[in-house]
Amino acid sequence: MEEILIEEFNYPLPDERIAKYPLANRDQSKLLVYRDGQVSEDQFFHIGEYLAPGSLLIYNNTRVIQARLVFHKTTLNHSEPVCTNLNNSTQPLGARIEIFCLEPLEPHDYQLSLGATDGCTWKCMIGNAKKWKTGALSLPVLLPSGDTITLFAEKGEQTGNTFAVHFSWSPNYQLSTVNCQLNLSFAEILDAVGELPIPPYLNRKTEESDKTTYQTVYSRIKGSVAAPTAGLHFTDNVLDGLRQKGIQTAEVTLHVGAGTFQPVKVADANQHTMHTEIIAVPKETIQIIIANLGHIVAVGTTSMRTLESLYFLGAQLYALCSTPDTPHATLSVAQFEPYEREYTLTTQQALQAIVDYLDSTNQDVLHAETQIMIKPGYQFHVVDQLITNFHQPKSTLLLLVSAFVGGDWHTIYDYALAHDFRFLSYGDSSILFRRNPASKL
């Protein structure tokens, strides 16, 4: 595999160019337009002028959860009633332990785990883990009803720099108003006591306003620990205007993990290990894509990774149809699968193979995993236009952008730097037209 020197994807990004807060009106952000090597600029609320009638806009409907929990080191007998007073704690605060929930382990499904009412286990990063050797941590949780419960965390097996953490919760029996039969879900507990994990490069604490501004207007499926930030520019008015112009919309789900902020630390980007993310795509969305091939617009790199992964998932299922006795394994796209052989399937054939599989298994939604790495040399199969923000230097997202514009990323970023565009999650956006768009439909 040809070497990709990550240093060639570096550029100067002064801290003052990183947007620490969003604009008051999210659709007033600047929009860079790149087409056929030419760059111009506009404002985002004019995005419809750059989308042809009949285009299909596909966005990621994931919602960021309040995944950061702050405990203080105490050891409690889990079988005894908890006597923690939220206002005047009778126990001295110990070492601060920060738990960052990354993805569910048991139940493994996001919705089942977030909906659990009797405990769940998550893969977590732990800040100050050395101070937490044994014992359960406890955290009093004040609910909107005025009742309180206590959240417990028990540390399990370590894998690399993450841990399995089991969470459970029970009413605080010291408060007579508590109904001992409260069926609280883990999602409700996170909403009550968790902190929204804004990007580390903002170099500030989460504020109350982030709970709104760091969510897209169409977010609805909880599970991400980072927002699909290209979508932060959309407003209901912009979406209504697009529909009036005859532009369809459809949804996919990719729960964004902390790996999206993981820098490439090796000289050759091919040696970087991509994080795995879980995707869910309704059968209806796949059918709409088939009907609109050649006019697909991805909102953000997460939508892009999801849509391009569909081709390889379809290729796997198409091959399985040729060997019906082969059992179906977990559907997953490996990091370098797109580069390991030449694919002859058309995009329509691959996507239809997914629809046929869902029909044969009586499923309405495709659930799969993807570790796909889109880098220079990648052949695009599904996406024709990309709406995206401006990404960090030496990142896999910048590699993706470079692949999409035929290596011409410098033209885009040099223009953005020279014309006062705001960078990263709360910054401005761009709409990119794919270079050499001919593909096998």
pLDDT at 321: 78
pLDDT at 145: 80
CA distance 274 to 373: 7
Q: pLDDT tens string for the chain (441 positions)?
A: 889 999 999 999 999 999 999 999 999 999 999 999 999 999 999 999 999 999 999 999 999 999 999 998 864 444 443 334 444 444 556 789 999 999 999 999 999 999 999 899 999 999 999 999 888 999 999 888 888 899 999 999 999 889 999 999 987 544 444 444 567 899 999 999 999 999 999 999 999 999 999 999 999 999 999 999 999 999 999 999 999 999 999 999 999 987 777 789 999 999 999 988 999 999 999 999 999 999 999 999 999 999 999 999 999 999 987 655 444 567 999 999 999 988 999 999 999 999 999 999 999 999 999 999 999 999 999 999 999 999 999 999 999 999 999 999 999 999 999 999 999 999 999 999 998 655 556
CA distance 44 to 429: 8
Which three-class secondary structure state does DSSP give residue 128?
coil
pLDDT at 257: 83
Q: What is the pLDDT of residues 118-130, one digit of tens each?
A: 899 999 999 999 9
Q: What is the pLDDT of residues 149-198, one digit of tens each?
A: 999 999 999 998 899 999 999 875 444 444 445 678 999 999 999 999 99
Token pair recorded at residue 104: 């569910």
CA distance 141 to 86: 8
Of residues 67, 128, 122, the one with CA closest to residue 93: 128
pLDDT at 15: 95
Whether the Cβ atoms of residue 408 and residue 398 lie closer than 8 Å to each other? no
CA distance 209 to 20: 12
Sign of CA dihedral 203, 204, 206, 212: negative
Whether the Cβ atoms of residue 316 and residue 244 lie closer than 8 Å to each other? no
CA distance 408 to 285: 31
- Amino acid identity at 142: L
What is the reported pTM? 0.90
CA 278 and chain centroid, separation: 9
Which three-class secondary structure state does DSSP give residue 123?
strand
Token pair recorded at residue 28: 């007033």
Whether the Cβ atoms of residue 257 and residue 124 lie closer than 8 Å to each other? no
For residue 206, how many other CB atoms are within 10 A of its CB?
15
pLDDT at 85: 42
